[in-house]
Amino acid sequence: MSAIQYDRRDDGIVVLTMDMPGQSANTMNQDFRDAFGQCVDRLLADKANITGVILASAKSTFFAGGDLKELVAVQPADAERFMTMLTNQITTPLRQLETLGKPVVAAINGAALGGGWELALACHGRIAVSSSAYRLGLPEVTLGLLPGGGGCTRLPRLLGIEKALPLLIEGQQLTVDKALSLGLLNATVDSADQLIDAAVSWISAHPQAKQPWDEKGYKMPGGSPDNPKVAQMLAIAPAMLKAKTKGCYPAPEAILSTVVEGAKVDFETAQRIESRYFTHLVTSQVAKNMIGTFWFQLNAIKAGKSRPQLDMGVNGGKSFEITKVGVLGAGMMGAGIAYATATKGIQTVLKDVSQEQADKGKAYTQNLLDKKLQRKRISAEKRDQQLALIESTVSVEALKDCDLIIEAVFEDGDLKARVTRESEPMLATGGVFATNTSTIPISQLASASEQPADFIGLHFFSPVDKMQLVEIIKGQKTSDETLAKAFDFVLQIGKIPIVVNDSRGFFTSRVFGTFVNEGITMLGEGIHPASIENAALLAGMPIGPLAISDEVSLKLMRHIRRQTEADIKAAGGTYQKHPAEAVIDVMVDEFERTGKAGGGGFYDYQVKLPNGSLGKQLWSGLADRWTDDALTRATDLQTLKDRFLYIQALETVRCLDEGVLHSVADANIGSIFGIGFAPWTGGALQFINHTGLTKFVSRSQSLKTDFGDRFDPPASLISMADTGKQYR
């Protein structure tokens, strides 16, 4: 039982200390399950001599949850074996523990998530160290799963259906204070050293402790599903859930079913219901997609998979730390970058051509911090400290000794060259100059730099305070040390870095462009705009192509296209027109509708909706000009969804073939966190794996026949399909 230390004290209290050997955290793997089962058997055998049980951890956290390597390997053919293991080695021992007839307390010394929180919920008492850094909860839904160790059965019985469902379906992670206020914790202590004493005291005060649902006359808080109030809520819950998931995610629907069905029966039956739904999800491809990308690939990126390995003599082999950042341009992007740096404790200079504009950029941070203060997520003192780190200015001299300067001005090559030449001399020795361009090649912009080896692309996404990804673009002359500094900076400000090589549009903008252009092309073909937008949402995209085009601005999209065309022709190349361009030209030139900032584009804004609120709606002129009702009715919804997903996946393959992308992980993470590629797929390349390469190639070829050469599958993809390989 090396995974759990069994220690019976003189007072009869048994302390079970979880300490998985060779791991930084406790996980519910086979070693733990074996040890836990043996401990429960020993408790049952020695029950007469026991006065209570304390579950504690020797790690810096309480318990990390399930073993995802095990879960992702479970195939549909393994369902019966997995269900048996789940019952015999997890749910039954947990039930035996909570019905031992002795008080059981969880002494929570750090984070308790997933299976760790389920372990705590199986205890009669829960005491945690009071720290704002610790999180408690059941986030399994974010990986395409449900809490299968009793979470969907116990949490509703503790809180009631209405309060438990958001925690389960949204995978909310609670602070210690929030868990205490909900009654999920019985007490808190100031330090881990006090946990055992506090647990002993709780056991002494509750010698006959039972779970509420094991007490005679127990009734579920708020009422069972048959209660009129609860029944009314549940009547609309499926529709509300479908509106959020668009039917792409099985886990939230399974959680709702598990909770409602389980609430109508006894505990043991409810547990079997939960186990069956959990087994179904574990064997599903969607869960494997999400676990593979959101856990394994994301963690590999954060661990530095794409960071160049420098000589140990460079910075002593340590990560680089940025202490002063300059941001050029205080528009929405520049202001967002300044917020991201200042809130991580970095001195920030926000420069613009006018003091008014610079101050307006700083006010953006103040507005966001004030909202955090109102929500009690930050203290007034902390807000003032972070805001004071931003200096808004028109002075180039204020940039002196910056470790990093990030240019975030308008997408114009000449303008970017001017600000580069003006501000680059202000860099500290060894400093890095970065451009936030989304489309212009880094090597082209670096021609204005005196130190092209120290020049790099840092492509942030708007709004910066919400978007987690930063695309790091390496130019032809960018040094590995500069790339390492940029990578470390992105991690320093809490963002997710992906590394790509130089190319027009790089990775994310190239792929994003295919999505937007495909939607606009559909409009030009005669597909009704509402069908286009809905198809994108039903495919799993967060927003429709017409809506996002308005946000970007049709005028800006055309400007970028013309800049691209001019650059390609200047380099002796041939520019290939896209069918979407004609629609954009009509919108801008004929209808003078340039997007949201211009008052309207594909949508009208500030329109009074049927419910009385102000919002947006598709401009009626679109249907008048382009819609072919017969074509719309004849077009299969799946075809529209396929066009959106396939066109992006194909462009991702081309980026990989051209060496723009370094890895499959960068492709999947970048596609989801950068452009919102349907998360249920696990990313653009995992979508191809999910579909099956042979089937994907066949469908791409049929789309090519029907809609054009842009759907032509690359030779590399065809070759992989022929050899049975996948993107790994």
Spell 88-116 as b/e; 16+ CB within 10 A means b.
ebbbebbbebbebebbbbbbbbbbbbbbb
C-beta separation of 507 from 660 below 8 A: yes
CATH 1.20.1250.20 is right for the domain spanning 4-283: no
C-beta separation of 492 from 294 below 8 A: no
> Could you tell me the fold of the domain covering 508-546+558-589+623-659?
N-(1-d-carboxylethyl)-l-norvaline Dehydrogenase; domain 2 (1.10.1040)
Q: Give the integer Cα–Cα distance in Å for 543 and 537.
A: 6
Single-letter amino acid, residue 560:
I
Strand 4-8 versus strand 13-18 pairing type: antiparallel
Residue 184, CA distances (Å) to 27, 154, 215, 700 in order: 22, 11, 18, 51
Question: Is 308 in a helix, a strand, or coil?
Answer: coil
Q: Which two tokens stand for residue 45?
A: 């055998």
pLDDT for res 183: 97
Parse the chain into domains and list their residue ranges. 4-283, 322-500, 508-546+558-589+623-659
pLDDT for res 486: 98
Bridge partners, residue 405, by sequence? 326, 433
**C-alpha distance across the termini of the chain, in Å:** 36
Contacts (Cβ under 8 Å, ≥6 apart) of 447? 417
CATH superfamily ID and name for 322-500: NAD(P)-binding Rossmann-like Domain (3.40.50.720)
Q: Give the neighbor-by-neighbor strand order of the sheet with 187-189.
A: 4-8, 13-18, 52-57, 104-108, 125-129, 187-189
How confident is the model over 118-147, as pLDDT tens digits?
Answer: 999 999 999 999 998 999 999 999 999 999
How confident is the model over 682-716, as pLDDT tens digits?
Answer: 999 999 999 999 999 999 999 999 999 999 999 99
Single-letter amino acid, residue 327:
V
Tokens 């114009």 correspond to 412
Q: Give the integer Cα–Cα distance in Å for 481 and 458.
A: 15
C-beta separation of 82 from 44 below 8 A: no
Q: Give the neighbor-by-neighbor strand order of the sheet with 112-113.
A: 112-113, 136-137, 173-174
pLDDT for res 611: 84
Residues of the chain with pLDDT under 70: 1
pLDDT for res 455: 98
38 alpha-carbon distance from chain centroid: 38
Contacts (Cβ under 8 Å, ≥6 apart) of 681? 289, 540, 645, 687, 690
| Cis geometry, peptide bond prior to residue 21 (ω within 30 degrees of 0) | no
C-beta separation of 366 from 394 below 8 A: no
Nearest to 675 by CA among 652, 699, 703, 700: 652
pLDDT for res 577: 93
pLDDT for res 681: 98
